[in-house]
Each structure stands twice: as C-alpha cells, then as structure tokens.
C-alpha cells in the first residue's frame, strides 16, 4: 500500500541526471568534497559541545565528582573524535539521540532494576550509619544541665523554601555556631552580628535570617530539624531557643545493637532485613537499605496480599487495553466505512468535527469526564435523569472508564482507517460486487483483511500504550472503587497505577517492591508486543 507523498517533489522524479549504476559502491565511501557551509556548521557545533563540556566541568570539579568528570571528558573526547574524522558515518547520525537515550532512559531503567532486589523505601533509604544517626538524634531528650542556646533561624536560599540552618549563640561562652542536619560548625565571631539585648544572632555572612513571620510559617520544618553533635543533638524549643540534649539510645559496636540507656532494652542489627530488631520482635522504624535478593519477586508471586491483587489487576489490565484498542478501532472503522462513499457530500466537514476530541488536551478532558460522571451534579446523571454512582461500583466504574477511552481514542482510529480505506483500490471492491458478493461479504473478504494488514502495527502500538495508560485511570477513578478491606488495590487499577501507589502512596513508599512490579509489567508488554509483531510477519521486510 502506498499513500501519496505530500512533500515537495515526487518520489519518482529523480534529481540526478545519470541513472544509478548497480556496479558502483553504494554510498559515501568515496568522499564528497567538503563545503564551506558544512565546515562552518561543524566548527560551530563542536565549539558548542566544548563550551557545554567546560560549563559542566566546573561544578563537577568543585564537588569532587571525579567519576562524573571522567565520564564527561571521555564523552566529549569521543564526540570530537567521531565528528572530526571521516569514518563511522552511521554513528554520526545515531550518537546524538543515543546519548540522551542512555542518560535519561537506560540509566534510570537500570537503576530501577537494581532497586528491585533491595528493600529501598520508607525507613530503608540510606546506609546503616545514616540509620544509627537518625535513631540517636530522634531519641534526644533535654536533661538537667544541658547547654541552652539563643536560636536564630536562617537559610542560604529563599526564605520560603530554602533549606533551614540554625544559627546558635551560647550566652555563656559567647561562641557562635551554624548547624543543620549535616552537623554543627563553629562560626567566626567577626562574621556575625549578635544582639546585645537578647543574645541572638541578627545577621550572618552568607545567610538570610528569617523574620518571626517567615519562621513560624515553617515551624514544622524547624521542629523537624535536628543537629547531630558528638554526644547528642541540638533541637529547637520554640523559635528562639534551642538546647543540646542527650541521646537516650546509642549504638554499641560491641554487640552491633542499639541500647536504650533508660530502659536498658537492646535492638540487634539484622543485616537480612536491614532493621534493628529487639528480642521480642519489635523493630525500630529507621532501617537501612540492604539487598534482599529475589524476595520481592517471591512476594509478588506468592504473598497472598500482593499476588491476589496482582493477578486480578493483570486480568483487568488486559481487558482495559484490549477494550480500549478494540472498541475505538471498531467504532472508528465503522464511521470511516459509513463516510467512505463517492456519493457522500461534506465528508471534510464531518472529519473536521469528528476529530476534535483528539485535538483537545486529553488530561483536561479526562478530568471533565470525571466530573460528568459525578453522582450528584454530573452531566450524565442530570441529562438522562439517572442516579448512578458511576465510580462507586466496580463494573459501572469499568464501563465508565472504557467509555471515556472510546471518546478520546476513536477519532484517531477513524482518521487512520479513513486513510487506509482511501488506499484500497476501488476496483477490488467493485470486482467482488460484479462477482455477486454482498456488501458484507466483500467487506469481510477484501476490505477488512487489507485494513488489518495496514493498521495492525498501529493497533499493537495502541495496545502497548493503553496497557500503561496512567492518565486514563489517575485522572478519572484514581483506581477506585476500593474494597473496604483492601485499600491498596482498586477495581479499575492498572498494574501501573497500582505500582504508582506502591511507590508513592499514602501507605508508605516501597520502591523495591514497586520496581519489581515495574519489571513484571515490562516483561508482559514486551512479550505481548513481540508475539504480535511476529504474527504480523512484517519482520523480514523491516530488517531487509
């Protein structure tokens, strides 16, 4: 099938004077002369690359990221080698896109895959040392005789959003400090201004001091900021005072455990789960990141709390993707067939109006549909005098979601079906009717097979897209309705929205598990697509 080319110039008009000679080497092996424009463009682009590399190098050097610097230098050198030489022509065309692909797609995917074998998530983010520091600082209590400071809240960034720093002055020794979650540093007394009245720091070089209004609007962040010190930590007490308290819990390297100095209870480190566990099974909430091997994979397959929803969701996910693709295709094709007639007038007008849903911003229209399904004042219930709680029941929610998908997707199918129909030679269908076939027979025997051949790659692509169509669910039902005993997984959840909730939901983030489910999703989509592509038997042609 060949659609007409609309570009300037026609494919059959050969610009060269001589016909191609089959005996000669095919392309660019013998070098064309270098043109002045080409040279200028090359110099400018390579200069740009060098400039960007220089710009990128300084922060790396400053922060001491030597590996990053090495990658940068190697990449830049490779680019210069590639574009200054005359060899490796295919690479010259592939490298620009591939660089972005590796940096922002392959790398994140690999990182995701590696977290699938860890317990990374809330409470298991950093190293064991981080966990120990977090446990110690959060157990800090004020004890008699602890040092008190006059507190000033400051930041190096924007007063409303920048990371907070405590500026502390010790009224007894007159020493001044700056402290944040990284620790305490003594400041040069000459660089700060201390009020003689309150003993507070009123200005410090390099810091913006928050006024009382700004500080109180961020009081939660102030309370949460704990400055670790050698034998405890400094916490705020209101917005103007701070104290250095003693940590009730401390790490004991001898028994590799956390000991509470008041109760004497100990929690021993368990390297398998990345937590401190007491003899009675109690776990401290601050743990660390460890490798858990195939535990997440096992959990997806065997844990009834996870595998039950997983396979249920998988079934609905297939139904959703097939339904979204199938219904839009059927409706789009039916309308395209109806409008495809030499005697039809005004097809252009119909087409222009029909495809408007495709041109509307889909995120906004999904939200509009959500509100049209609203039980109390939604348009659909008002218009038809219904009182259906659309998103309340599992099946009505599924029907609603598919209806929305149909509305959003059928104009696209209508467009491509129209294009494919126009490319089917009219003589074919006319020949069948001369042979006495009914319109239905001729559609089944001639038109439909030809349409499917032309459109099956698009149908597969549409299936793959809808399989992971987050917006369609997130903007409408948000995965609901949820069964009362299972808030993790709703009736219209796709695997991907389920994963999204696992990773970012209110239940606490479980990135490790979410990454495992991501890999499952990837495997499923890849398998289905591979099978379908093989079945379309276009492979040979594609690789020719």
Residues of span 355-384 touching another protein by CB under 8 A: 355-365, 367-369, 371-372, 374, 376-377, 379, 382-383
Residue whose CB is less far from another protein, 270 or 478: 478
Q: Residue 233, Cβ neighbours under 10 Å: how many?
A: 24
Report, in Å, the least distance between residue 242 CB and another protein: 27
Check residue 63 for interaction with another protein (CB under 8 A). Answer: yes
* Residue 424 is a binding residue for another protein (CB under 8 A): no
- Residue 184 or 355: which CB sits closer to another protein? 355
- Which of 228, 411, 479, 490 is in the footprint of another protein by CB under 8 A? 411
How many residues can be counted in the chain?
544
Among 4, 144, 190, 436, binds another protein (CB under 8 A): 4
Number of residues this chain uses to bind another protein (CB under 8 A): 128
Q: Which of 470, 487, 507, 531 binds another protein (CB under 8 A)?
A: 470
Nearer to another protein, 33 or 213 (CB): 33
DSSP string of 209-267? EPPHHHHHHTHHHHHH--EEETTEEEEEETTTEEEEEEESEEEETTTTEEEETTT--EE
Burial of 153 (0-12, 13-18, 19+ CB in 10 A): buried
- DSSP per position, 106-138: IHHHHHHHHHTTB--BTTB-S-HHHHHHHHHHH
C-beta of 79: minimal distance to another protein in Å? 14
- Measured over all CA atoms, what is the biggest interatomic distance in the chain, rounded to whole angstroms? 108
Window of 257-265, 272-280, 352-360, 441-449 that interacts with another protein by CB under 8 A: 352-360
Q: Would you list the DSSP string of 424-477? A: S-HHHHHHHHHTT--HHHHIIIIIHHHHHHHHHHHHHHHHHHHHT-HHHHHTTT
- Judged by CB under 8 A, does residue 69 bind another protein? no
Q: Rule CB under 8 A: which of 9-28 touch another protein?
A: 9, 11-12, 14-21, 24, 26-28
Which parts of 286-325 interact with another protein (CB under 8 A)?
none
Element (H, E) at 92: helix 89-101
Contacting residue, 218, 284, 511, 516, with another protein by CB under 8 A: 511
What burial class does residue 147 get, using C-beta atoms within 10 Å of its C-beta: 0-12 exposed, 13-18 middle, 19+ buried? middle
H or E stretch covering 269: strand 266-270
Mask for 473-492, x = binds another protein (CB under 8 A): -xx-----------------
Annotate each residue in 114-153 with x if it binds another protein (CB under 8 A) or - if it does not, as one string.
-x----x---------------------------------
State residue 140 phi and psi, 5-degree precision.
Answer: -70, 130
Residue 66 binds to another protein (criterion: CB under 8 A): no
């Amino acid at each position: 099938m060949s659609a007409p080319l609309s570009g300037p110039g026609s494919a059959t008009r050969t610009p060269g004077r001589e016909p191609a000679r089959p005996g000669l080497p095919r392309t660019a092996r013998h070098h064309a002369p270098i043109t002045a424009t080409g040279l200028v463009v090359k110099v400018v682009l390579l200069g740009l690359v060098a400039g960007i590399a220089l710009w990128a190098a300084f922060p790396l050097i400053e922060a001491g990221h030597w590996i990053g610097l090495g990658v940068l230098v190697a990449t830049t050198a490779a680019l210069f080698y590639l574009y200054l030489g005359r060899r490796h022509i295919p690479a010259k065309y592939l490298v620009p896109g591939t660089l972005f692909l590796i940096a922002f797609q392959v790398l994140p995917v690999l990182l995701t895959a590696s977290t699938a074998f860890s317990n990374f998530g809330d409470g298991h983010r950093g190293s064991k040392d981080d966990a120990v520091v977090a446990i110690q600082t959060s157990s800090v209590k004020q004890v008699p005789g602890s040092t008190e400071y006059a507190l000033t809240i400051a930041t190096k960034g924007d007063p409303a959003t920048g990371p907070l720093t405590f500026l502390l002055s010790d009224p007894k020794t007159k020493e001044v400090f700056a402290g944040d979650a990284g620790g305490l540093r003594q400041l040069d007394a000459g660089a700060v201004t201390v009020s003689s009245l309150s003993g507070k720091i009123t200005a410090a070089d390099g810091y913006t001091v928050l006024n009382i209004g700004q500080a109180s609007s961020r009081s939660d962040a102030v309370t949460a900021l704990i400055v670790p010190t050698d034998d405890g930590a400094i916490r705020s007490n209101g917005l103007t005072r701070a104290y250095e308290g003693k940590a009730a819990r401390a790490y004991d390297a001898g028994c590799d455990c956390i000991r509470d100095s008041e109760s004497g209870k100990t929690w021993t480190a368990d390297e398998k789960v990345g937590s401190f566990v007491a003899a009675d099974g109690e776990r401290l909430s601050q743990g660390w990141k460890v490798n858990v091997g195939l535990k997440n994979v096992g959990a997806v397959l065997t844990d009834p709390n996870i595998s039950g929803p997983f396979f249920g969701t998988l079934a609905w996910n297939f139904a959703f993707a097939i339904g979204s693709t199938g219904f839009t295709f059927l409706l789009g094709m039916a309308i395209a067939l109806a409008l495809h007639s030499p005697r039809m007038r005004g097809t252009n007008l119909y087409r222009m109006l029909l495809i408007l849903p495709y041109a509307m911003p889909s995120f906004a229209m999904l939200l509009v549909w959500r509100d049209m399904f609203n039980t109390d004042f939604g348009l659909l219930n008002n218009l038809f005098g219904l009182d259906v709680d659309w998103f309340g029941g599992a099946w009505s929610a599924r029907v609603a979601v598919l209806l929305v998908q149909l509305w959003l997707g059928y104009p696209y199918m209508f467009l491509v079906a129209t294009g494919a129909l126009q490319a089917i030679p009219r003589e074919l269908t006319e020949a069948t009717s001369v042979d006495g076939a009914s319109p239905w027979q001729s559609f089944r025997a001639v038109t439909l097979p030809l349409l499917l051949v032309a459109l099956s790659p698009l149908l597969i692509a549409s299936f793959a897209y809808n399989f992971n169509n987050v917006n369609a669910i997130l903007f409408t039902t948000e995965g609901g309705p949820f069964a009362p005993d299972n808030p993790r997984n709703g009736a219209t959840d796709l695997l991907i929205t389920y994963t999204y909730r696992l990773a970012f939901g209110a239940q606490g983030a479980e990135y490790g598990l979410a990454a495992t489910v991501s890999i499952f999703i990837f495997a499923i989509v890849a398998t289905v697509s591979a099978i379908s592509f093989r079945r379309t038997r276009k492979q040979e042609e594609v690789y020719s």
